[in-house]
Amino acid sequence: HSASGASVVAIDNKIEQAMDLVKSHLMYAVREEVEVLKEQIKELVERNSLLERENALLKSLSNNDQLSQLST
């Protein structure tokens, strides 16, 4: 019985090691993805800011008739 008990403990240890490995791989993949998404967010915020400034400039250069045509 002690041999089978030791075998169960060894299997449990291997399962735990495998789960730790899976966890560390998943955490690494998630960290990489988060970095990619942070960079995309940064680029989108910059693009949005540029478009907002461009929009404000175009509004300031246009007259009310042109602006009313845009909303219809």
Strand ranges, E, within the chain? none
pLDDT of residue 72: 63
The count of C-alpha atoms lying within 13 angstroms of the C-alpha of 29, restricted to the half-sphere facing its C-beta, is 6
d(CA 7, CA 30) in angstroms, rounded, equals 34
pLDDT of residue 1: 59
Q: What is the pLDDT of residues 3-45, one digit of tens each?
A: 787 898 999 999 999 999 999 999 999 999 999 999 999 999 9
Question: Do 67 and 59 contact (CB within 8 A), yes or no?
Answer: yes
The token duo for 69 is 């045509």
